[in-house]
């Protein structure tokens, strides 16, 4: 969001919308939801380790009268409430935290630790706001239970594990999410936004988030003494040339109107000043939207790496090794009809100055899997502003001056953020499950 929009948006946030029964109920329940948020914030768990978190959420849903199943996709929760004829609406929240040491200074800051899949003990934090997502999810369930006379259909609430690794949604689907439980007509989610003030919503129609691929690239050469480089095929020099050449996949081979990113996030090789190693290992993140662009980038990485190796005279049995990780996260797509319907509902409720369209981002979200698994399922995820208003105003809306998602200093403003999240999601669900149908 551009800083020049700050005055207009801040003024818009100051306007008070007229009260209505839903808003009044959300405000009355917000203290409970905020308290739950702080409890979840203090007790984060990593992906597929959300044992206590899922038990806590399952208990809340059972108390509300849902038919609850735990252990779906290892630690996922599925809660179903049937309330007469009508469509099936699925609302998803994700549960996992991150191996990040919290530095917010909040009185309810996390002091939890966990062991990563790599076996490393690490401080743990909800640095991506999944605690906001879960608390909003519970708040929405509480409102919809209280408003059962006002809607008709089947509500499926899922608490998903392991979003950060991009594998939780796939695990739940593989465990029968669409066969053991009512298959949704619509699936909804929200994600907090680290550069949008609390009280705001943003959304994209069509692509909302990107394809995410992780690639391990091993550049192999022939090692030797650093004093005699002519007797070697130096993989460090070759790796440097390869890193630069890879950028032409975006700048010279990709259509500029189809966004793409190839980032080398890690490069490791060598052990000493005077030793030319046998190999260098690179780790890449590759981002795109369309399947065609994704395939072009991935095949191009292999071609460029091999071409640079051939140009350097590397023996044929020492060609680069390219390994594309299996935990691919496909692009998140907001289906047109559902996006327009829900966006119109949110604009009607909050005003067009508080519900704004935004371009898609290059981050990834495995929420994408729910539509991709069955294209008849319409999907929509929206962004929920989470930044304290005075903090956002002081930064003049410049995201470079605000802690980002995954930052150790990311600290949502819970009271207005959760109230907005619950009211928005409840409004969307009520619209999709009208009493008496359409």
Domain boundary among 324, 354, 370: 324
Reply yes or no on whether the pLDDT at 3 is more than 70: no
pLDDT at position 57 = 98
pLDDT at position 327 = 83
pLDDT digits (tens, 9 = 90+) for 219-245: 999 999 999 999 999 999 999 999 999
**Same domain (yes/no): 97, 34:** yes
Above pLDDT 70, what percent of the chain?
A: 95
**Same domain (yes/no): 59, 168:** yes
Burial bucket for residue 160 (CB in 10 Å: 0-12, 13-18, 19+): buried
C-alpha 312/C-alpha 408 separation (Å) is: 42
Mean pLDDT of the 368-375 span: 98
* 220 belongs to a structural domain: yes
| Model confidence, pTM | 0.92
Reply yes or no on whether the pLDDT at 214 is more than 80: yes
* 147 belongs to a structural domain: yes
**Same domain (yes/no): 366, 423:** yes
Mean pLDDT of the 282-286 span: 98
Mean pLDDT of the 323-351 span: 96
Reply yes or no on whether the pLDDT at 438 is more than 80: no
pLDDT digits (tens, 9 = 90+) for 116-144: 999 999 999 999 999 999 999 999 999 99
Domain CATH number, residue 397: 3.40.630.10
Domain boundary among 305, 324, 343: 324
* 195 belongs to a structural domain: yes
For residue 4, what pLDDT band results from cuts at 50, 70 and 90? very low
**Same domain (yes/no): 54, 79:** yes
Which are the contacts of 227, defined by CB distance < 8 A and separation ≥ 6?
A: 274
pLDDT digits (tens, 9 = 90+) for 287-318: 999 999 999 999 999 999 999 999 999 999 99
* 246 belongs to a structural domain: yes
- Helix residue ranges per DSSP H, 312-352: 336-350
pLDDT digits (tens, 9 = 90+) for 11-46: 444 445 556 999 999 999 999 999 999 999 999 999
Q: How many residues in total does the chain contain?
A: 438
Burial bucket for residue 240 (CB in 10 Å: 0-12, 13-18, 19+): middle
Above pLDDT 90, what percent of the chain?
A: 94
Number of alpha carbons in the 13 Å side-chain half-sphere of residue 156: 21
213: tokens are 């691929």
**Same domain (yes/no): 43, 192:** yes
pLDDT at position 376 = 98
Domain CATH number, residue 315: 3.30.70.360
pLDDT at position 402 = 97
**Same domain (yes/no): 205, 85:** yes
* 31 belongs to a structural domain: yes
Q: Tell me the helix, strand and coil percentages in the chain, rounded to 5.
A: 40, 25, 35
- Residue 283 lies in domain: 211-324
**Same domain (yes/no): 103, 125:** yes
**Same domain (yes/no): 318, 386:** no
Mean pLDDT of the 422-428 span: 98
**Same domain (yes/no): 201, 306:** no
Residue with tokens 């930052």: 407
Task: Give the number of domains in the chain.
Answer: 2
Domain boundary among 308, 324, 340: 324
* 183 belongs to a structural domain: yes
For residue 5, what pLDDT band results from cuts at 50, 70 and 90? very low
Partner residues linked to 79 by β-bridges: 68, 157
* 275 belongs to a structural domain: yes
Partner residues linked to 88 by β-bridges: 154
**Same domain (yes/no): 355, 427:** yes
* 438 belongs to a structural domain: no
pLDDT digits (tens, 9 = 90+) for 86-105: 999 999 999 999 999 999 99
Q: In sequence order, what E strands does 61-210 have?
A: 67-72, 76-83, 88-94, 113-115, 121-123, 153-160, 186-197, 201-203, 206-209
**Same domain (yes/no): 46, 58:** yes
**Same domain (yes/no): 308, 341:** no
pLDDT at position 326 = 85
């Amino acid at each position: 969001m551009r800083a020049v929009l700050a005055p207009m948006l801040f003024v818009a946030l100051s306007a008070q919308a007229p009260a209505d029964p839903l808003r009044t109920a959300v405000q009355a329940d917000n203290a409970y939801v905020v308290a739950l948020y702080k409890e979840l914030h203090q007790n984060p768990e990593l992906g597929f380790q959300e044992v206590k978190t899922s038990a806590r959420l399952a208990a809340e849903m059972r108390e509300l009268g849902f038919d609850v199943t735990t252990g779906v996709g290892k630690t996922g929760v599925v809660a179903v409430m049937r309330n007469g004829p009508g469509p099936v609406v699925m609302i998803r929240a994700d549960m996992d935290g991150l191996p990040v040491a919290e530095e917010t200074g909040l009185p309810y800051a996390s002091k939890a630790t966990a062991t990563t899949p790599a076996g490393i003990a690490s401080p743990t934090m909800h640095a991506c706001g999944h605690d906001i997502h879960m608390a909003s999810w519970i708040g929405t369930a509480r409102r919809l239970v209280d408003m059962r006379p006002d809607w008709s259909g089947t509500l499926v609430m899922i608490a998903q594990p392991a979003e950060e690794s991009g594998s939780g949604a796939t695990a739940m689907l593989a465990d029968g999410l669409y066969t053991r439980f009512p298959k949704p007509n619509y699936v909804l989610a929200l994600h907090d936004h680290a550069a949008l003030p609390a009280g705001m919503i943003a959304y994209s129609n069509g692509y909302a988030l990107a394809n995410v691929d992780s690639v391990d690239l091993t550049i192999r050469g022939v090692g030797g003494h650093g004093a005699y480089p002519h007797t070697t095929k130096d993989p460090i020099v070759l790796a440097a040339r390869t890193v630069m050449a890879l950028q032409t996949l975006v700048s010279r081979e990709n259509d500029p109107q189809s966004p793409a990113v190839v980032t080398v996030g890690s490069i490791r090789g060598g052990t000493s000043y005077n030793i030319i190693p046998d190999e260098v290992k690179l780790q890449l993140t590759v981002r795109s939207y369309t399947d065609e662009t994704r395939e072009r980038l991935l095949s191009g990485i292999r071609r460029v790496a091999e071409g640079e190796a051939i140009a350097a005279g590397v023996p044929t049995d020492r060609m680069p090794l390219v390994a594309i990780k299996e935990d691919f996260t496909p692009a998140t797509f907001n289906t047109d009809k559902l996006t327009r319907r829900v966006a119109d509902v949110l604009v009607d409720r909050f005003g067009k100055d508080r519900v704004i369209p935004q371009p898609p981002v290059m981050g990834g979200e495995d929420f994408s899997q729910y539509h991709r698994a069955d294209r008849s399922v319409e999907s929509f995820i929206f962004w929920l502003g989470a930044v304290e208003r005075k903090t956002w105003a002081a930064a003049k809306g410049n995201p470079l001056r605000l802690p980002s998602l995954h930052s150790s200093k990311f600290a949502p403003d819970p009271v207005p953020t959760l109230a907005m999240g619950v009211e928005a999601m409840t409004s969307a669900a009520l619209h999709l499950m009208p009493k008496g149908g359409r």
